[in-house]
Amino acid sequence: ETIDAAGLHVIPGAIDVHVHFREPGFSHKETWTSATQAAAVGGVTTVFDMPNTNPPTASVAALDQKHAIAGAQAIVDYGLYGLIGEHNLDQLEAMAQAGAASFKLYMGSENPLVPCPPDGAIVEAFEILARLGLRCTVHAENTPLLAWRGDKLRAAGRTDAAAHLEQHIDLAAVEAVSRTAIFAEWTGAKVHIAHESTRHSLPHIRFAKDRGVDLTVETCPHYLFLSTDEGARLGDNFMRVKPPVREPGHAGPLWDALLDGTIDIISTDHAPHLRSEKTRDVIWDCAPGFPGVETSMVLMLAEVSRGRLTLGQYVRMACEAPAKAFGLFPTKGVLAVGADADIVLLDMTKTGRISAAGLHSIGNATPFEGFPLHGLPVRTLVRGRTVALEGRPVGTPGWGRPVTVAC
């Protein structure tokens, strides 16, 4: 294949360490085919898939099942998360041997399929992962406190108070981030904070890093580009996500933290739901989350075009930092001798707009409808093969392969 890249920019493929690709269990929202097509078109060449599927990825058998599904359909490379519960601590090592690329711990969960282990079990899990050398991603939000209080307030019809709780008491996130860092310091575990949404966590992240904790942190485009002020225009239901998009005043400090390295990584928390699941009358009945793999790079490139960050800074947070944090360095996420040819060609002169109808995810309802774009990926290669061209997926299902993690 001869590729003419005259006038284009060449960057490494983005590595999205936080996606929910839904299979097995929720194929009506997304399949590995639709999701990896969306990723390829969006310039994402490697994804790490979350374990809140059905069955949850909490055993070797469940991991094998997901590997088979992903292996048959994927057109980009992938790592699979194992789920940590109090019930499967004795299986984490076997799951790591069976190819779990990382593990996910939920400090809060309203999903009955997803356990929320007590502190003792968290510490034990961290000890095991410290021994195995694998990083543990933590959903350090929506703690049981919030769920318990929120349910009670909603049951009493106090929806305003419940909304206030979910939206403004982000100190529950600060508590969970700090607790994660303390447990990591005790055990020597490498930990990763998922979807950082609030400026209040930032001093606590800096404190932990200054103390030498091996802590990495991600944020997502919705926390950088949206605030509750935009809810009326973009649709509160479409914006609904956990953790929630915060009130104005958080995005600026999160941008600063991303640029100064306090926040290491940009991921997406790609979490598609059907439009019908996002358009119910009562916002609490609307499923939280929306697709992200196809819209993240283009949103960030528009900011590159506006001069908010350099392309080099974007590559650091989208490619290099995730590769280093999750043990993919030096094979992925950097343009270096010996690295996989996971490559994206950009045309920084191209403009456009985000349109849900044009997205490849099945659950395509996005709060970013109409966002103006300047700079688009025009070709995506995974291990040297073109998997997306000019906005169209062209890869062969099954080309995607599981990543190898070097701890």
Give the residues lining the site for ligand DOR (CB under 6 A).
20, 52, 139, 241-242, 271, 288-289
Q: How far is the CB of 74 from Zn ion (least distance, A)?
A: 19
Q: How far is the CB of 52 from ligand DOR (least distance, A)?
A: 5
* Pairwise CA distance, residues 376 & 297, whole Å: 8
Nearer to ligand DOR by Cβ, of 314 and 368: the residue is: 368
Identify which of residues 42 and 395 has a Cβ nearer to Zn ion in the complex. 42
Near Zn ion in 179-208, by CB under 5 A = 194
DSSP state of 317: I
222 or 360: whose CB is closer to ligand DOR?
Answer: 222
Residue 55 main-chain phi, psi, to 5 deg: -70, 155
Does 320 contact Zn ion by CB under 5 A?
A: no
Closest residue to bound ligand DOR by CB: 289
Nearer to ligand DOR, 194 or 319 (CB): 194
CB 114 within 8 A of CB 54: no
Quickly list DSSP for 106-175: ESS---TTS----HHHHHHHHHHHHHHT--EEEE--S-HHHHHHHHHHHHTT-HHHHHHHHHH-THHHHH
CA-to-CA distance for 186 and 122, rounded, in angstroms?
A: 12
Stretch that binds Zn ion, among 201-209, 267-275, 292-300, 397-405 (CB under 5 A): 267-275
CA angle 307, 312, 318 (to 5 degrees): 105
Among ligand DOR, Zn ion, none, what does residue 220 contact (CB within 5–8 Å per kind)?
A: none
Nearer to ligand DOR, 12 or 367 (CB): 367
The 102-106 sheet, strands edge to edge = 14-19, 44-49, 77-83, 102-106, 136-139, 191-193, 215-219, 265-266
Binder among 77, 124, 170, 269 for Zn ion (CB under 5 A): 269
If the CB atoms of residues 270 and 379 are measured against ligand DOR, the closer one turns out to be 270
Minimum CB–partner distance for residue 101 and Zn ion (Å): 16
Shortest separation between residue 51's beta carbon and ligand DOR, angstroms:
10
Q: Is 273 in the site for Zn ion (CB under 5 A)?
A: no
The entry of ligand DOR, Zn ion, none that residue 226 binds, CB within 5 to 8 Å by partner kind? none
CA-based torsion, 48, 54, 57, 58: positive or negative: positive
Which residue, 269 or 340, is less far from Zn ion as judged by CB?
269
Query: Strand 265-266 vs strand 343-353: parallel, antiparallel, or unpaired?
Result: unpaired
Contact call for residue 139 and Zn ion (CB under 5 A): yes
Q: Roughly what angle, to the nearest 10 degrees, separates helices 119-132 and 171-187?
A: 50
158: CB partners within 8 A, 6+ apart: none
Contact between 77 and Zn ion (CB under 5 A)? no
Binding site for Zn ion (CB under 5 A): 139, 194, 269
